[in-house]
Amino acid sequence: MKKIIIFLLLTAVIYSQDKDPYEMLDRVKAKYDQIEDYEVDVTISIDVNFLKMPDSKAKIFFKKPDKVRLKSEGFAMLPRNGVNFSPAALLNGEYDALYTGSEDIEGKQYEVVKVIPKNDSSGVILTTLKIDPENDVVSFVESTTKNTGSFEVAVKYTEIDSYHLPQEVVLSFNMGDIHIPKAAAAQFDRGDDNEEESGKDDKDKMKGTVRIFYKNYKVNIGLSDDIFVEEEKEMKK
Amino acid sequence: MSDEKVIEVKGLTKKYQNLTAVNNLDLNVYKGDVFGFLGPNGAGKSTTIRMLLTLIKPTAGDIKIFGKPLYANRNEIMRKIGAIVEKPDFYMYLSAFKNIELLGGLYGVDTSKKRLMEILDTVGLAHRHKSKVKTFSHGMKQRLGIAQALLHDPELIILDEPTTGLDPQGMKEIRELIIMLSKEKGKTVFLSSHILREVELITDRMIIINKGTTQIEGKVSELLNAEKITVTFELESSDSVENVIAESSWGNKLKAREKNEFIFDVGAEDIPAMNSFFVEKGVNVSAIIPKRSLEEYFLKITSGGAV
Amino acid sequence: MINLIGFELSKLFRKWRTYIGFLAIGVLVPIVQIVLHYEGDRFVNMALRSVQQSFMFDGNLLNGYLIGYLILQALIIHIPFLIVLVGGDILAGEATSGTYRMLLIRPVSRFKIITSKFIAGIIYTNALLAFLAFMSLIMSLIIFGSGELIVFENILYIFATDDVFWRFGMAYGYAALSMSTVFALSFLFSSLVENAIGPIVATMAIIIIFAILSALNFDALKVIRPYLFTNYIADWRLFFRDPVEIKEVINSGVVLVGHIVGLYAITLYLFIKKDILS
């Protein structure tokens, strides 16, 4: 499967090998590397098929290379994939990169680079990055993962103290099977529930869109690692 | 006693699937009467009383109480009736006071503590007003039953076997109470009983029913007139005795014969003459038993029950 | 009439039987609250497990609302038993004790007596539910605080803190309708016999049989399902979906109200005709 993809991409590359994708990605990486850490207020709007919840407000803490902590007064949730896109995780390992040309999106030119990690551990098979060449930031990401389906991220940036940081992120995903446990204790359950459930398999796929709006960035303020400890603990559960 | 009918029952009938409990019963109770409703157990007394109190719907017949059709004027009529049906049952988990307070509340009459305590005092239960009814003896419940029947000062009091299960003293107290209610307060009392003696002691008029139908009705003083009696002569058994009697002037007074018992419809004053007659004819008399005819009759229908 | 209802209520609430339900709730709910206090996190994690791989969370979902919801969901199916315990006795008990004879010779029509007993029973039913609401929701909110409510209803719902209380209000309102239907059924049975055991057993039997018929997934049974009232009595849960399907709620509510009115009318008809032989 992977080989076929590489072959197809190579064929495409022959006709557009006028820019070096590795150099392009290095510039992007360097750009992101300027950001040591930040703290930001977010509004999260989740529109997915398996869950309904109101927009939530939270704080996101980030620290290089890939530490993320979500903090909220009420309840908030955030997809682990794609949000706070940092190429670090993707570009730190070995990868093959292919430049496939430029693309016009809403009147703006983007350079399109396909990245194939050599290491399977990330679970990502193929990622397409659309890079804004003026600012050296990734504006669109499309990833296909091995087990958890695919997702797309569109990022609008804002410039704060010469750093480019996300202002609005739209994440769309279509993931593999999820299993929502059926409500217990349903002696008087309505019969029609069963009919719905026995319907289409499609229903059991996680899909939807998450929009995140960022505000009040505080960049490179020297966040302590302690802030992320709790989160790591929770992740282990 | 007046001519004003308090209860007027015509052709009252109650049929269950295959049983006729009350059959074409007529009944009149006059104002001021103490009316005795007599009959053996199972005669239809209770069914009749339940129909008078709208607990059971008649299959046929008319009931008028206070001159008005009962069912069309139920609540108005029931307001003026106090009753005990069969044994007095109360809310066991409530106190005596609470029971009559709640039941009295249904008449919308004065249920002040003073008034209720007065009533309880009348029946001798004032000292136990706080006790739950489940701690009461049958006699106490019976008296509480009287209390609840009187607390709204009714014109008509219907009592179903009110002395059942009471000791002799209790019976006497209830009888005196009934007589007092009638004579001093001018109440009309409808009293059912299976005991002739009880009815004789306190009622003015009575009716005897059996198998759901009226057997005898009238003034107690007339029905139980001591003048009208039967006399049973227990005679030495011999075939000729019947002939001896038949040939004499007593022949047409002979009512029945059972083995050596000869029952005559005669007056008490005739007993000495009859006795001499048998002695003259050489018939040995072993016993002479005078009985009032009604008593005789009632004994028969109650199949030897207590009289 | 108000007098009469007071009369019935004062009898009802002087009976030990009436307090069994309150006692059961009063004992059971605190136990569940204590258990959830220690084990509730596990429940929340279990609920979120399916999305945990793909999402990170922050915030505490183990709050008074969740506990109130879990208790309501767990206990409401047992409340009918507590209701029929009283409902089955409300008329038959008077027959057993012989007090029909005391009661029905008063200058009050049977219509009024039945109606006031019915209303007293409905008041009991609602009082029991109000007590359940107080113990399970209000007490949980006091102990555990408020917050977003996470609920499974085919999909996972997380309701904003200020979007929950009205749902509970409506759900309890609907549950009151469901339980009143149960009461009305036991009331009818209670009018037919002279002992409370029969109506209690008969009502529970009908609820259980109907519930099983509702749950069995055969085509032949699907046809009769809409005619089984048990099919509607758990629809308080519709208020924990978003959006609330108002049409469905109204439809179910109308079915239940229809049952209540119908059962009451049948009881009235039979009882007014009834010969009191006890």
Q: Which amino acid is at B50?
A: R
pLDDT for position C61? 85
pLDDT for position A188? 42
- Cα–Cα separations (whole angstroms), residue A204 to A123, A127, A180, C61, C155: 21, 25, 8, 24, 10
CB count within 10 Å of CB C217 equals 12
Integer distance in angstroms from the first to the last C-alpha of chain B? 27
Say whether C14 and B103 touch across the interface (CB within 8 A).
no
pLDDT for position C250? 94
**A90–chain C nearest CA distance, Å:** 17
Say whether A70 and C57 touch across the interface (CB within 8 A).
yes
Length of chain B: 307
pLDDT for position C25? 94
Position A172 pLDDT exceeds 50:
yes
Name every chain A residue with its beta carbon within 8 A of the beta carbon of C50.
50, 178-181
CATH class of the A2-236 domain in this structure: mainly beta
pLDDT for position B109? 82
Say whether C106 and B103 touch across the interface (CB within 8 A).
yes
Mutate to test the interface with B, among C8, C104, C106 (most CBs of B within 10 A): C106
> Can you tell me the distance from the alpha carbon of B112 to that of B101, in angstroms, rounded to the nearest whole number?
8
Q: Which of A144-148, B185-189, C130-134, C213-217 has the lowest mean pLDDT?
A: A144-148
Phi-psi region of C41 (alpha: psi -120 to 50; beta: other; left: phi over 0): alpha
Say whether C51 and A183 touch across the interface (CB within 8 A).
no
Q: Return the CATH number of the domain spanning residue range B229-301.
A: 3.30.70
> Can you tell me the distance from the alpha carbon of C72 to that of C176, in angstroms, rounded to the nearest whole number?
12
CB count within 10 Å of CB C45 equals 15
A–C interface: beta-carbon pairs under 8 A: 127
Average pLDDT rounded to a whole number, residues A82-90: 61
E-assigned strands of A10-149?
A: 37-48, 51-52, 56-63, 67-71, 76-79, 95-105, 108-117, 124-132, 137-145
Q: Closest to C154 (Cβ–Cβ): which among A175, A196, A237? A: A196
The mean pLDDT values, 10 residues at a time, for chain C of 278 residues are 89 91 94 87 78 80 90 89 94 91 91 95 96 94 90 85 92 95 95 92 92 82 83 90 90 94 96 88
In which band, very low, low, confident or very high, does the pLDDT at A7 lie, cut at 50, 70 and 90?
low
Q: Could you tell me which chain C residue has the CA closest to the CA of A53? A: C158
Q: Closest to C56 (Cβ–Cβ): which among A50, A77, A185? A: A77
Cβ atoms of A1 and A145 within 8 Å: the answer is no
Position A170 pLDDT exceeds 70:
yes
Say whether A178 and C214 touch across the interface (CB within 8 A).
no
- Cα–Cα separations (whole angstroms), residue A221 to A73, A166, A213: 22, 17, 21
**B148–chain C nearest CA distance, Å:** 9
pLDDT higher at A212 or A120: A212
Name every chain B residue with its beta carbon within 8 A of the beta carbon of C104.
53-55
Interface of C with B in 189-228 (CB under 8 A): none
- Summarised one tens digit per residue, pLDDT across range C122-152 is 999 999 999 999 999 999 999 888 888 988 8
Name every chain B residue with its beta carbon within 8 A of the beta carbon of C18.
none
Query: Which H helix or E strand runs over C173?
Result: helix C165-192
Q: Using CB atoms, which chains have 3+ pairs under 8 A with B? A: C
pLDDT for position A198? 38
Average pLDDT rounded to a whole number, residues B201-229: 80
Q: Closest to A70 (Cβ–Cβ): which among C45, C56, C157? A: C56
Domain B5-223 falls in which CATH fold? Rossmann fold (3.40.50)
CB count within 10 Å of CB A104 equals 8
Q: Where are the domains of chain A?
A: 2-236
Say whether C102 and B76 touch across the interface (CB within 8 A).
no
Does the pTM surpass 0.80? The reply is yes
Integer distance in angstroms from the first to the last C-alpha of chain A? 33
Tell the residue number behind the tokens 């258990």, with chain if given.
C35
Q: Closest to C59 (Cβ–Cβ): which among A52, A72, A187? A: A72
Q: Which residues contact B306 (CB under 8 A, 6 or more apart)?
A: B195
Mean pLDDT of chain A: 76
In which band, very low, low, confident or very high, does the pLDDT at A87 lie, cut at 50, 70 and 90?
low
pLDDT for position B307? 35
Query: Which H helix or E strand runs over C18?
Result: helix C16-52
Q: Which amino acid is at A192?
A: D
Say whether B87 and C98 touch across the interface (CB within 8 A).
yes
Average pLDDT rounded to a whole number, residues B48-60: 93
Peptide bond into A65 cis (omega under 30): yes
Say whether C107 and B55 touch across the interface (CB within 8 A).
no
Q: Closest to C15 (Cβ–Cβ): which among B78, B93, B106? A: B93
> Can you tell me the distance from the alpha carbon of B233 to that of B288, in angstroms, rounded to the nearest whole number?
5
Q: Closest to C155 (Cβ–Cβ): which among A52, A74, A187? A: A52
Max mean pLDDT range (A8-12, A89-93, B302-306, C179-183): C179-183
Contacts 24+ apart (CB under 8 A), B267-273: B267/B227, B267/B228, B267/B229, B268/B226, B268/B227, B268/B229, B268/B231, B270/B231, B271/B231
Name every chain C residue with its beta carbon within 8 A of the beta carbon of B88.
102
Position B22 pLDDT exceeds 70:
yes
pLDDT for position A182? 46
B–C interface: beta-carbon pairs under 8 A: 76
CB count within 10 Å of CB C16 equals 8
Cβ atoms of C176 and C256 within 8 Å: the answer is no
Cβ atoms of A136 and A27 within 8 Å: the answer is yes
Average pLDDT rounded to a whole number, residues B199-220: 84
Question: What percentage of residues in chain B have a pLDDT greater than 90?
Answer: 30
Q: Could you tell me which chain C residue has the CA closest to the CA of A174? A: C54
Mean pLDDT of chain B: 85
Q: Which residues contact B75 (CB under 8 A, 6 or more apart)?
A: C107, C108, C109
Average pLDDT rounded to a whole number, residues A71-97: 74
Q: Check if C108 contacts B (Cβ < 8 Å).
A: yes
Q: Where are the domains of chain B?
A: 5-223, 229-301
Say whether B94 and C11 touch across the interface (CB within 8 A).
yes
Average pLDDT rounded to a whole number, residues B21-37: 90
Q: Check if C270 contacts A (Cβ < 8 Å).
A: no
CA torsion sign, A168 to A174 to A175 to A177? positive
> Can you tell me the distance from the alpha carbon of C193 to that of C199, in angstroms, rounded to the nearest whole number?
8
Position A181 pLDDT exceeds 50:
no
Q: Check if A233 contacts C (Cβ < 8 Å).
A: no
The DSSP annotation for C201-263 comes to HHHHHHHHHHHHHHHS--HHHHHHGGG-GGGTTTGGGGGGSSS--HHHHHHHHHHHHHHHHHH
Q: Check if C15 contacts B (Cβ < 8 Å).
A: yes
> Can you tell me the distance from the alpha carbon of C78 to that of C136, in angstroms, rounded to the nearest whole number?
14
**C146–chain A nearest CA distance, Å:** 10
Q: Which of A161-175, A177-191, C191-205 has the lowest mean pLDDT?
A: A177-191
pLDDT for position A41? 94
Q: Closest to C156 (Cβ–Cβ): which among A51, A68, A78? A: A51
Q: Check if A52 contacts C (Cβ < 8 Å).
A: yes
pLDDT higher at A82 or B18: B18
pLDDT for position B227? 59
**C203–chain B nearest CA distance, Å:** 25
pLDDT for position A15? 53
pLDDT for position C18? 93
Cβ atoms of C87 and C186 within 8 Å: the answer is yes
Query: Which H helix or E strand runs over C84?
Result: helix C79-87
In which band, very low, low, confident or very high, does the pLDDT at A233 lie, cut at 50, 70 and 90?
very low
Say whether C275 and B56 touch across the interface (CB within 8 A).
yes
* Contact flag for A and C (3+ C-beta pairs < 8 Å): yes
